[in-house]
Amino acid sequence: MSGAVFTLILLAALLSASWNASVKGASDKYLHAVLVACGAALLALFPLPFLSQPAPASWVYIGASALLQVIYYKLLAAAFRAGDFGHAYPLMRGTAPLLVSLVSGPVIGEALSLGRWLGVALICSGVIGVAWEASSRVGANSAVMKYGLSNAVIIAAYTTVDGIGVRKSGAPASYTIWIFEVSALMLVVAAMLTRRKELCSYAKGRLRSAFMGGAAVLISYEIALWAMTQVPIAVVAALRETSMVFGMAIAVLILKERAGIRRYVATALIACGAIAIRLL
């Protein structure tokens, strides 16, 4: 893997951790997630007319991914309501790349080298280790486990779908944008039907944070899907979870959550996994 691809995926990981933390810190986590998705969709409209459009064969993947993203936002908000960022986030993100790695061979036909399997295993072990450390500190929470693991399956599903779809599209940038447009439309329609007054009230004074979060999620996923056209999907899925290194810093320094020695050891495993993928 080239240094440029590796560095860009790490940037995507940082952006992913940042916008997830903004949702965790919000007073209404679901409505904030909806605003972030809408911010991404509105920003993405500007370059869309100047881009090549996805090939027809990829539109079924766009539709499937958008639907999965809607479910993802719902479960994300539920997981963050149920527990700490340091517990819910790694539980969701750490399990997903392992699932992607297991299905990428039979479903996509991508076989990982032994060195990359080692890197994936280290990253997954480290991220799940962070979740267990947080769980032992704050006490086991069945709701966090339920929503976190359910969302891990959704993340693995849309990652696999998009990994295939973006390659069929021939246009990674516009493929990603259309996912955000369709999913944001679904989210807004659902929110307007069920929580219209609350959404309008919550949006007041929060447009700036919505657009900042939207820019982060848009750029992060654009990078991830482009990277999937360059290297195996499972590798990108695993490397994105180095976001836990950034996530731990955010949880400790900004959200003021406590971290024990086991979390630092787990974070070191994540870093070692990233190095293994880069070098082996």
pLDDT of res. 209: 85
pLDDT of res. 168: 92
Q: Which of 93-97, 165-169, 206-210 has the highest mean pLDDT?
A: 165-169
Sequence-separated (6 or more) residues with CB below 8 Å from residue 133? 259, 260, 262, 263, 266
Please, where are the H alpha helices in 139-242?
A: 142-169, 172-203, 207-227, 233-240
Digit-coded pLDDT (tens) for 121-162? 777 777 777 667 666 665 556 777 788 888 888 988 988 899
Select the more confidently predicted residue: 131 or 114: 114
Select the more confidently predicted residue: 57 or 97: 57
Neighbouring CB atoms inside 10 A of 138's CB total 15
Digit-coded pLDDT (tens) for 4-21? 888 888 888 888 878 777
pLDDT of res. 235: 78
pLDDT of res. 255: 65
Answer left, alpha or beta for residue 170, where phi above 0 means left and psi between -120 and 50 means alpha. left
pLDDT of res. 177: 92
Digit-coded pLDDT (tens) for 173-220? 999 999 999 999 999 998 888 888 888 888 887 888 889 988 998 898
What is the spatial distance between Cα 77 and Cα 79, in angstroms, rounded to a whole number? 5
Q: Which of 73, 82, 35, 22 is nearest to 192 (CA)?
A: 35
Instruction: Give me the percent of the chain exceeding a pLDDT of 90.
Output: 18
What is the spatial distance between Cα 50 and Cα 47, in angstroms, rounded to a whole number? 6
pLDDT of res. 139: 54
What is the spatial distance between Cα 168 and Cα 136, in angstroms, rounded to a whole number? 44
pLDDT of res. 272: 76
